[in-house]
Amino acid sequence: MIPDVTLASLALPCDGMPDINTMNAAALNGSLEDLPPLSDKRDLVLLDENGRPAGWIPFERLADGLLERYKRLAAHYEALLESIDDAVTVVNQTGHISGWNRGADRLYHYSEKKVSEKPITRFFKEDALVLMSVLNGGKHVKKKYNQPAPDVHVLINAIPVTLEEHIIGGISVERNISDVVKLNEELSSTTAYIQHLESRLETNHEDGPFHKIKGRAPALRAAIRLSKKVAMTDASVLITGESGVGKELFAQAIHQASARASRPFVAVNCGAIPPALFESELFGYDRGAFTGALREGKKGRMDAAKGGTLFLDEIGEMPQELQVKLLRVLQEKQFYRVGGNRAIPMDTRIIAATNRDMASMVSRGRFRADLYYRLNVVSINIPALRERIEDIPELAQGYLKAFALKYKKPVPELDPEVMVRFMQHSWPGNIRELRNTVERLMILAEGNVITTDLLPESFFEDAKTASAPRPSDGSAMIREASEKERVRRAMQKTFGNKSAAAKLLGISRVTLYNRLKKYFPDGKE
């Protein structure tokens, strides 16, 4: 804030002061902003806290002080306008433009000279002007999406300017997000089309819709069985699990196994769309909703998924004001586009996913309980990779083959020690981390065998903090089963890799061979 000019700083000593009865009075500790109208052009006497004269200000000196104050404010005002890259517009109480910076010039291609002192409605339609609604209603606007001109999309902050409780103007600051909106629309339509084609191809795959989900762990197979049961219904599904476990893969498989498989699968990342754009992205907008909007309006993701499945990823990140609107759509089975008044029937299956503790969010008021129970008709939890380490060998080998093809290299072998490190690692990034790790190894590998020296440092930190394998790996089986059962499970978990199985059991290869001959003479372990 620019400091005000104090009356004491303008005051002259009482010597030579005119008759006090011919002067206006003010407090010595006051400022220029505290003065009443000066229409009578009288000098000013300053009174101390005891009501005694402590100085005076001739009217001419007072006028000079006010002029200096005005010049300083004007200089700061102009500098502020030009220092802001976003478009800034200032209007007076009648809606005439009194401020227009270079950001506004660049965004709307009107020079300051052309717009200055002219009604803002001459350049924009009033129904698209957030600033005019602020001027008329006196309410503040924060990060509101608007389309004030053709092909121009902005996030706008606007506030009224008040003086003594009267609105004397308004100021808006608009951030250009046109490129973001256009790119998002292109990505949305392209992604929906690709996923639609993929769903049609996958439906006819001989291995079934769930063939992409690799693993034999009991917890994973249970999740797949439940997914297959719910796929043939239209019940809402909530998929839970840590980041990177493959929640979207499950959602796609459920869609492909459903009666809606021939219709689109549309994914929406609730954490990636700006809150101001969320409603129009989800429900679309009607023609005339914004000045310059597409003549026929714009379909939202709900429209794009008509007859198919809408996948709401990271549902816990959905803005609370949108939660209310989504709840109404799920209840009434119809929705309205932004700016529209025609109810559109909803023919879309909803699958949501989250890595958050939704029950805790509900109890803390961070997520609506009624929406949570609407979405959570059937809940499917995807186990973390550390809970299904017996699947790591199969997954790792699959990624090795895929990346060998991608980088045009022969498929290398994994040193048994590498596999042991894999099975001891905590995998905070789950399947995604495993995939990225294998790709790194494939890029760095120079020979036919991938050794531990290519592993990231985090794999050795895990080994330092655990003197023995984790309870979920081979050591758990060693403690809880007979020697024969331990050997059998170690061979299963390493898919018959005897070197890795021996390391997992903490014995030599010779000892393992002897035990295999003893317990499994027919070779069927």
Instruction: List the CATH number of the domain containing 158.
Output: 3.30.450.20
Query: Which residue from 61, 50, 49 is spatially nearest to 13, judged by alpha carbons?
Result: 61
Alpha helical stretches, state H, 93-177: 102-108, 112-115, 130-137
In a domain, 77, yes or no: no
Tokens found for residue 318: 């959905």
Tokens found for residue 74: 């004007």
- Looking at residue 313, its pLDDT comes to 94
- Looking at residue 292, its pLDDT comes to 42
335 and 259 within one domain? yes
Query: Which residue from 121, 84, 107 is spatially nearest to 177, judged by alpha carbons?
Result: 107
DSSP letter at 523?
S
> 239 in helix, strand or coil?
strand
Alpha helical stretches, state H, 233-288: 247-256, 275-283
Residues 6+ apart with CB under 8 A from 103: 84, 85, 86, 87, 88
In a domain, 90, yes or no: yes
Query: Which residue from 138, 105, 140 is spatially nearest to 123, judged by alpha carbons?
Result: 105
Residues 6+ apart with CB under 8 A from 349: 234, 236, 255, 258, 260, 308, 309, 310
DSSP conformation letters of 140-207: -EEEEEEEEETTEEEEEEEEEEEETTEEEEEEEEEEE-HHHHHHHHHHHHHHHHHHHHHHHHHHT-TT
375 and 466 within one domain? no
CATH code (residue 509): 1.10.8.60
| CA–CA gap between residue 24 and residue 309 (Å, rounded) | 76
In a domain, 73, yes or no: no
CA distances from 294 to 193, 278, 341, 429, 453 (A): 21, 18, 17, 42, 57
199 and 88 within one domain? no
In a domain, 352, yes or no: yes
- Looking at residue 248, its pLDDT comes to 94
Residues 6+ apart with CB under 8 A from 319: 275, 278
Query: Which residue from 290, 302, 359 is spatially nearest to 326, judged by alpha carbons?
Result: 302
CATH code (residue 335): 3.40.50.300
| CA–CA gap between residue 84 and residue 495 (Å, rounded) | 63
- Looking at residue 383, its pLDDT comes to 94
392 and 371 within one domain? no
- Looking at residue 472, its pLDDT comes to 43
326 and 193 within one domain? yes
Query: Which residue from 523, 483, 521 is spatially nearest to 505, judged by alpha carbons?
Result: 483
Of 381, 397, 427, the domain-final residue: 381
In a domain, 488, yes or no: yes
435 and 409 within one domain? yes
Backbone angles phi, psi at 385, to 5 degrees: -65, -35
Domain limits for position 151: 84-176
In a domain, 2, yes or no: no
| CA–CA gap between residue 490 and residue 385 (Å, rounded) | 18
| CA–CA gap between residue 91 and residue 170 (Å, rounded) | 5
Domain count, the chain: 4
- Looking at residue 288, its pLDDT comes to 53
In a domain, 79, yes or no: no
User: Are the CB atoms for 227 and 248 separated by under 8 Å?
Assistant: no
92 and 240 within one domain? no
Of 135, 158, 176, the domain-final residue: 176
- Looking at residue 479, its pLDDT comes to 39
| CA–CA gap between residue 523 and residue 509 (Å, rounded) | 16
* Residue ranges, the chain, pLDDT below 50: 203, 205-206, 289-295, 464, 466-481
Alpha carbon distance, N-terminus to C-terminus of the chain = 80
| CA–CA gap between residue 10 and residue 45 (Å, rounded) | 11
157 and 190 within one domain? no
CB neighbour class for 493 (10 Å; exposed up to 12, middle 13-18, buried from 19)? buried
306 and 249 within one domain? yes
187 and 169 within one domain? no
348 and 205 within one domain? yes
Tokens found for residue 268: 């929406």
Place of tokens 């403690």: 479
Of 150, 176, 202, the domain-final residue: 176
Place of tokens 């990823």: 313
User: Are the CB atoms for 346 and 334 separated by under 8 Å?
Assistant: yes
| CA–CA gap between residue 283 and residue 302 (Å, rounded) | 6
In a domain, 52, yes or no: yes
351 and 205 within one domain? yes
